[in-house]
Every structure is written in C-alpha cells, then in structure tokens.
Amino acid sequence: MVAAGFPVVATTSGGVASSLGYEDHEGAPGDEMLAVAARIARSVEVPVTVDAEAGYGLEPADLVAALSDAGVAGCNLEETDHANERIRDAAEQGDWLRRVREAAAAAEFPLVINARIDVFLAAAEPEGDLVPDALERAEAYLAAGADCVYPIALRERDAVRTFVSQAGGPVNILALPQAGSVAELAELGVARISWGSLLHRESIEQFQQRLAALV
C-alpha cells in the first residue's frame, strides 16, 4: 500500500481475523489482532489506523493503552455488541466513546477515532428510513469526541447524500459498488472511503481461481 503511494495504512478486522484462522466480529482474540496491528505499524513509516472492532471487551483506558503500545495512529470502533448480538444504544455507545477519548487525552495520545454506525447492516427497511437514527448516532458520537463517523453499508446515493450533508462531521463510506465511484463519493462530500475486507475477499477469490486452474 505504501509503495502504491498511499500515505496511510488501515487494517480490516475481517482480513486480519481470516489470515489468523478466525471468524470476523471479534472471533479472534483481541491481543492477537492488536499484535498484527503492531507488526504492521513497525513495518511502515506512515500512520496506521486499526480496525479495533468493538474494543475486545477492554475498558477504555486499557484499550487506549493497547493501541498506544501497538504504535497506531487511529482506530475504528463499532457499536455492535458481539457478545450479545445487538447494536448498542446510542447513549451507551456515546458514553463509551467519550471515555475512550478522555483516556487518550489523559495519556496525551492523539488517537483518531472513527466511530462506526451499524444500523444499515442487514437492515430490512429502506436506507432512507434509517438515516434519522444514524444521524442521531453520528451527532452523539461526534459530541463524545469521535473524529469521523462511519455508517457502514450505507450505499443508496440519496441516503448517502443526506447523511453526509447532515452528519456534522467527516464521514467514512464503505466502497460498495452501489455507493458510487471514488470521484462520485468525493462530490457528495465523503471524507474517507474504506474497502474493509473487500480487497482481502477479492484476493482470496483470485487465489481460489488460480488453484482451480492447476487441477
């Protein structure tokens, strides 16, 4: 990624967990995931932001210390409680994010927090109907100290436009084909575009095709 000219490296929990032999969504031990992040951070001279999932059950101060020890510059933190298979209440998640920010400030660690919003994942309702809830969450998380909000799986153009225009802070969008090209997302005001585990999945598919051709 650095050789290709990118000034920042970001990890994907899906790709890292898979490479370690685990399932995504905190199926891998947190210490193993963060160890990979640390190895990546040591191997490049650009900032590294790590997908820290939902924090691996760590208290905010412990999570901040682990991220600092890993040498990363930022993290994604999602609102899904994987242990209980639910999306956390916005107030609950906002309070947790605030404590992460306070712990980072106390440690004089300029951690970049990308707060993931999960209401669009596997939702049955039209995305437009979910935007008001997502915007309330975005407001709460930005107020809690998040630097960016990430409504993962938001892809319908009008819904993306509405969310970005009303979020009140930088917005990260997953690079799903339906969401549009990089240029189109930039025109909508999207600040950051993530490929998540998409590149990892594509590489594995190509590997499988190559293996099949050897038979």
Looking at residue 181, the DSSP 8-state letter turns out to be -
In a domain, 53, yes or no: yes
What does the block give as tokens for 7? 């000034």
Q: Report residue 2's pLDDT band, with 50, 70 and 90 as the boundaries.
A: very high
Neighbours of 161 (CB within 10 A): 15
Report the pLDDT averaged over residues 141-169: 97
Query: Is residue 3 assigned to a domain?
Result: no
Predicted pLDDT at 122: 83
pLDDT at 156 over 90: yes
CATH number at residue 171: 3.20.20.60
Q: In what order do the strands lie in the sheet with 148-151?
A: 9-10, 48-51, 74-77, 112-117, 148-151
Q: How many domains does the chain fold into?
A: 1
Q: Which domain holds residue 198?
A: 9-214
Per residue in 88-127, pLDDT (tens digit) is: 999 999 999 999 999 999 999 999 999 999 999 988 899 9
- Please give the average per-residue pLDDT across 79-90, as a whole number: 95
User: Distance (Å, rounded) from C-alpha 112 to C-alpha 81?
Assistant: 21
For the stretch 162-210, pLDDT in tens is: 999 999 999 999 999 999 999 999 999 999 999 999 999 999 999 999 9
What are the respective helix, strand and coil percentages of the chain, to the nearest 5?
A: 50, 15, 40
Q: Which residue, 101, 116, 96, 3, is CA-closest to 50? A: 116
Please give the pLDDT value at position 123. Answer: 84
Please tell me the pTM assigned to this model.
Answer: 0.95
Q: Does residue 6 surpass a pLDDT of 90?
A: yes
Mean pLDDT of the chain: 97
